[in-house]
Structure 1
C-alpha cells in the first residue's frame, strides 16, 4: 500500500469508530461550557477580590478553565485511537496489510493529530470568545497583546495532549492500562508535584505543567518558571516526541 492509501485507511478507521468521534465532541463541549461557567463566576466575584488578585487577573486564562476536562477527553481520544485496534485484534490485519510498521504508526498519528488540531483550535477560539462574553467589563480582546498567542496555544496544547496519549497507548497497547497511568499522571501526580514547594522545580517541567503556560497572558504571582510560553510548549513537544519514539521502538521490535 502507498502512504496515501494508508492515510486514507487510518482516516476511515478513526471516523468509523463512534467512541473516538464522540470523545472529540465531548472535549469541545465541556471545555467551552465549564469555561463559560467559571468566567461568569469570576466576573461576579471580581469586586470581592483582593488588590493583588485583581492586578494579576488573567481573563484569557480564565476562559480556558474548562481545559482540564477537555484535556481528559483528549487523553481518552488519543488512547482509543491506538488501543481500539489492539482490543479488537484488528492490529494483526493492519500489520499484515502494511508490514512497514513505521508507516502504519505515523499515518495513524498524522491523521489523528490533524483531527485533534482542528477540534482543539476551534474549541480554544470558541472557549475564549464565549468566556469573554461572560466576563463583562473585565473581558480581554483577541487583539490585546499576547491574547492571540494564548488562544492559538490552547489549541496546540489540546493537540499535544492527544498525541502524547497516543504515544503512551502505543507503548502499552491497552486502553485500561494507558488510562490507568495517564489519568493519575495528569490529574493527580502532576498537580501535586507542580504545587508542592519541595517538588515545584521538577513539576514545572512535566508536559502539562510546561505546556499550559502557553495559555497564560498574565503570569501568576508566584511564577518562577525558567522558560516562557513558547519554551513551555517546546518542553511539552519534547515529551511528545519521546513517547512517540518509545512507541515506535516497541512496535518495531515486538509481535502484534
Structure 2
C-alpha cells in the first residue's frame, strides 16, 4: 500500500471515532478557560504580591496555566488513537493491509501529531490572547522578547505530549494501563519529583518539566542547567525514546 494511502487510511480511522474529536475539543476548552480564570485571578492578586513575586511575574506563562490540565485531554486523545485498534481487534486487519510496521506506525503518528499540532497551536495562541485580555495592563504582547517563542512553544509542547503518549501506548497496547500510567505521572508524580528538594534535580529532566520551560519568558530564579529550547530538546529525546521503544516492540510482537 502506498504511503499516501496509508496516511489517508489513518486519517479516516481517527476522524471516524467521535471520542478523539471530543478529546481534542476538550483540550482546547479546558486549557483556554483555565488560563483565562488564572489570569483574571492573578490580576486581582497582583497588588497584594510581595516584591519578589512581582519581579518573577510572567504574564505569558500565566496565560498558559491551563496547559497542565489540558494536556491530560491530549494524552487521552493520543492513547485512544493507538489503543482503539487493539481494543477492537482491528490491529490485525491494519497490519495485514500494511505489513511494513514501521510505515504503519509512522503514518499513524504523523496524522495524529498533525492534528495535535494544529489544535495545540490554536489553543496556545487563543490562551495567550485571551489571557492577556484578562490581565489588562499587566499583560504583554507578541512583539516583546521571548513571547512569540513561548506561544509557538506551547503548541509544540502539546504535540510532543501527544507523540510521547502514543509511543508509550504502542508499548503497552492497553488503554487502561496506558492511561493508568500516563495520567498520574504527568498530573501528580512529575510535579512532586520536580518540587521536592531531594528529587528536584532529577524531576527537572522529566519530559513535561523540561518541555514546559519553552513557555516561560521571565527567567526563573533557580539553577536549572538548560534554557527554553534546551528543555524542549530534552522533551524531544523522551519522545524519540518512547516512539523507538514502541517501534521495536511492534516489530517483535504479534498483533
TM tier, smaller: over 0.9
2:212 maps to which residue? 212
Query: For the residues of structure 1 that align with 2:26 and 2:185, how far apart are their CA atoms?
Result: 21
Query: For the residues of structure 2 that align with 1:42 and 1:201, how far apart are their CA atoms?
Result: 29
Alignment of 1:59-208 (within 5 A): 59-208=59-208
Query: For the residues of structure 2 that align with 1:75 and 1:101, how far apart are their CA atoms?
Result: 23
1:228 maps to which residue? 227
- How far did residue 220 of structure 1 move? 2.5
Query: For the residues of structure 2 that align with 1:113 and 1:183, how far apart are their CA atoms?
Result: 19
- How far did residue 109 of structure 1 move? 0.2
- TM-score with structure 1 setting the length: 0.99
Query: For the residues of structure 2 that align with 1:238 and 1:4, how far apart are their CA atoms?
Result: 28
Query: For the residues of structure 2 that align with 1:86 and 1:192, how far apart are their CA atoms?
Result: 32
Alignment partner of 1:22: what SS? helix
- How far did residue 219 of structure 1 move? 2.0
Q: Deviations over 1:128-182 (max 9, x none)?
A: 0000000011001110010000000000001100110000000000100000000
1:244 maps to which residue? 243
Query: For the residues of structure 2 that align with 1:67 and 1:53, how far apart are their CA atoms?
Result: 21
Alignment partner of 2:199: what SS? helix
Query: For the residues of structure 2 that align with 1:40 and 1:4, how far apart are their CA atoms?
Result: 46
Query: For the residues of structure 2 that align with 1:138 and 1:83, how far apart are their CA atoms?
Result: 44
Q: Deviations over 1:77-130 (max 9, x none)?
A: 110100000000000100111111110011000000011000000100000000
- How far did residue 189 of structure 1 move? 1.2
- TM-score with structure 2 setting the length: 0.99
Structure 1, unpaired ranges of 5+: none
Query: For the residues of structure 1 that align with 2:143 and 2:149, how far apart are their CA atoms?
Result: 10
Q: Deviations over 1:63-83 (max 9, x none)?
A: 000001111001101101000
Does structure 1 residue 39 correspond to structure 2 residue 39?
Answer: yes
Structure 2, unpaired ranges of 5+: none
- How far did residue 224 of structure 1 move? 1.3
Query: For the residues of structure 1 that align with 2:211 and 2:90, how far apart are their CA atoms?
Result: 34
Does structure 1 residue 56 correspond to structure 2 residue 52?
Answer: no
